[in-house]
Chain A
Amino acid sequence: MAKQYEIKAKWLPYFLVLPQMIIVFIFFFWPSAQAILQSFYLQDPFGGKTIFVGLSNYIALFTNPDSDYLYSFIISIVFALSITLLSMTVSLFLAVQAHKKIHFTTFYKTMLTWPYAVATLVAGVIWLFMFNPNVGVIAWILKHNFGIPWDYLLNFQHAFILLTLAASWKQLAYNFVFFMAGLQSVPETLVEAAIIDGASPIRRFWQIIFGLLAPTTFYLLVMNLVFGFFETFPIVHGITAGGPGKSTSILVYKVWRDGVVNLDLGGSSAQSVILMILVIGLTVLQFRFIERRITY
C-alpha cells in the first residue's frame, strides 16, 4: 500500500500541485539558489561590490580556530537533544495522567493544551524575566534564599539550563497534544485484555501503550529535534544572545546574527547552505523511515 491509488488523469495532477510548486520555487528554491551563489563571494552589504572567493567562506568556518563553528554544531545538537528529552518526558507523563479515568480531565486537558498558543518569542521574554540575574525574581530567590550564585551571564551551565527549560516549557503543550491524541487512539480492548492478564500498571504502560505510541513518539522526536535545532532562535536571541562568550551560540542564531546583524552575507550564506544540506539529508532519512513504517 506504499503507493496509494493511481487515479488516471493526464494534466490534472499538474494543476493540483502547481500552486504549491510555484510557492516552493519562488520562496524556497530561488532564495536558496541565491544563498548558494552568495556563499562563494565576499560581498558589500549594499550590493555594490562583490569579490569571488571560492570556497573560502566555507573553509574559514572549519579551519579558523576563532570561528568555533564546530563547537556551535555540537552545542546545537546537545541543546536539541536536551529539549527533546526533557519536554517529551514531562509531556508524556502528564498525558498519561490526564488520560486516566478521573474527574476534571477536560479541565486538565484544556489547561495543558492552551499554552500551545504561546509564541516562542513570548516564551523567551517570560523566562528571561524570571531568571535574569539583574531583574529576575527567581534569580533573586536562588541567590538570596538558597545561596546559589545564579548568573547565566557568565556561567555556561546556568545559561544552558535556562535555555533548555525555556524551550522545553514552550514545547510542553505541543507534545502533550500529540501524546494525548496518541493515547486516545490506543484501543481500550487491548488495555482491558492486559488488565485481565494481570499486568501491573507500569508494565502495561511500557509493554502495550508505549509500544502503540511509537509512531507518535517518533514523529514528536523528529519535530522536537527540529524545534530544538531551528526554532529556538527567538529564545536564544532573547535570553543569552549566544553568551556567555560564544557558548550558547547555536547554528541558527549564528546564521541570523552573522547575516542580519553583522552583515557578513557570504559567511552567513555558507552557513545557510550547510544547514540546508543537513536538513535535506535529515528529511530524506525521515521519509525513508516513515515509508518503511507505512509499508509493512
Chain B
Amino acid sequence: MREFSKVRRLITHFYLWIGIAIIIFPIYFIFSASSHTSAEILSAPMPLNIGPYLLENYKRALFEGTKNLGTPVFIMIKNSFIMAMGISIGKIIISLLAAFAIVFFDFPLRKFCFWSIFITLMLPVEVRIMPTYKVISDLGMLNTYSGLIMPMIVSATAVFLFRQFFLTVPREIVEASQIDGSSPMQFFGRILVPMSRTPIAALFVIQFIYGWNQYLWPLLITTKQEYFTLLIGINRMMTGADVNIEWQIVMATTLLALIPPVIVVVLMQKQFIAGMTETEK
C-alpha cells in the first residue's frame, strides 16, 4: 500500500496503544491492589505501584484466602472447569443436533420448535431465577453438576449461530451426499460436523467463557462446598456482614480466576475469529 505513509502508520500504532491502555489500566489496577494490604487499599488515595505483599497475597489466595469457605481453590478451579466444559460441550452437542434438524429437515412441528427455541435467545436466567430453582429442586438436582449446568444450556445462542452457518452450506453438497446414498446422519457426521469445525471452536470459546463467568445461579443452588466455583468464591469473599473485606485477596483471586478463560481465548483466538467470520456472512 503505497499511500500508507510512515506518519499514518505511527498514528495507527498510537491509536491502538490507547485502546490497549484503556483495556489494560483497569486490569493493572486490580493487579496493583492485589499487592498491598487492605489498610493500604482503603487509604485514600490507594498507592498504584506494585506493593511488597504480592507473593504473600497470592499464596494466601491460593492456599488459605478462602479458608472460611472451607473450600480449597483447586476444588473451585475444578468445579469452574467442569461447569464451563459441561456447558460448552453440552450446548454444542444439543445445538448442533437441533440446528441440523431445523435447517435441513422439513417436518410438521418445525416452526413450533423453531420459535420455542428462539424465544429463549435473549432472556437471561436471572429474570426467572426463583422458579428455575424450584424446578431444579423438584427434580432433585440441587448440589449436582447437572443442576449447575443444565439450566445454563437453555439459551439458544448456539443454535442460532449454527443455524446461521448451516444456512450458508451450499446446496450442492447436501444434494451430492444424498445422491451418494448416505443417510442423513452420515451426512451430519461425515460432512456437516467436520465443515463446522471453526464455528464449533468459536462457540466453544464463547460458551466456555459464559460458563466460567456464571455466578448468580451457582450461588443459589450450591450449598455443599464441594460444588463451589471460583466466582462463588469471589462473590462470597466480598459479601460478609460486619467484616473486614480483604480486598487484596479478593483482587488476587479475581486475577487468578481470569487466567484460565484468558488462556482459552488467546489460544483459540484464530479459530474464534474465523468461526465468527464464517457464521456472520
Contacts and interface: CB of A to CB of B under 8 A. Distances in A.
Interface of A: 1, 3-7, 9-10, 12-14, 16-17, 19-21, 23-32, 34-35, 38, 90, 93-94, 97-98, 100-102, 104, 108-122, 125-127, 129-130, 134-135, 137, 140-141, 144, 169, 172-173, 177-178, 180-182, 184-185, 195, 201, 215-216, 219, 226, 230-231, 233-234, 252, 255-256, 259-260, 265, 268-269, 272, 275-276, 279-280, 282-284, 287, 294
B7 interface: no
B110 A13 contact: yes
A21 to B, nearest CB: 6
Contacts of A282: 122
A31 B117 contact: no
Given A12-B105, A98-B16, A23 B127 contact: no
B224 interface: no
A97 B42 contact: no
Contact of B23 (A31, A112, A226): A112
A119 B171 contact: no
A276 B127 contact: yes
Contact of B262 (A114, A120, A216, A226): A114
B77 interface: no
Secondary structure call for the B interface = helix
Nearest to A259: B130
Given A3-B106, A112-B20, A185-B277, A117 B209 contact: yes
B74 interface: no
A32 B159 CA distance: 20
Given A4-B167, A93-B15, A135-B41, A122 B129 contact: no
Contact of A177 (B13, B16, B46, B273): B273
B103 interface: yes
Nearest to B169: A4
B134 A172 contact: no
Q: Which has the most chain B C-beta neighbours within 10 Å: A24, A30, A268?
A: A24
Given A169-B23, A272-B127, A283-B122, A181 B276 contact: yes
Contacts of B238: 125
Contact of B29 (A126, A185, A226): A126
Nearest to A125: B254
Nearest to A181: B276
Secondary structure call for the A interface = helix
B269 interface: yes
B269 A113 contact: yes
B280 A181 contact: yes
Contacts of B127: 230, 252, 255-256, 272, 275-276
B166 interface: yes
B27 interface: yes
B33 A121 contact: no
A46 B280 CA distance: 47
B122 A122 contact: no
Given A7-B184, A35-B131, A172 B22 contact: yes
A256 B27 CA distance: 28
Contacts of B150: 23, 26-27
Given A1-B171, A16-B101, A129-B33, 6 more contacts: A14-B107, A26-B139, A94-B16, A121-B235, A126-B27, A135-B46
Q: Which has the most chain A C-beta neighbours within 10 Å: B16, B139, B257?
A: B16
A120 B104 CA distance: 36
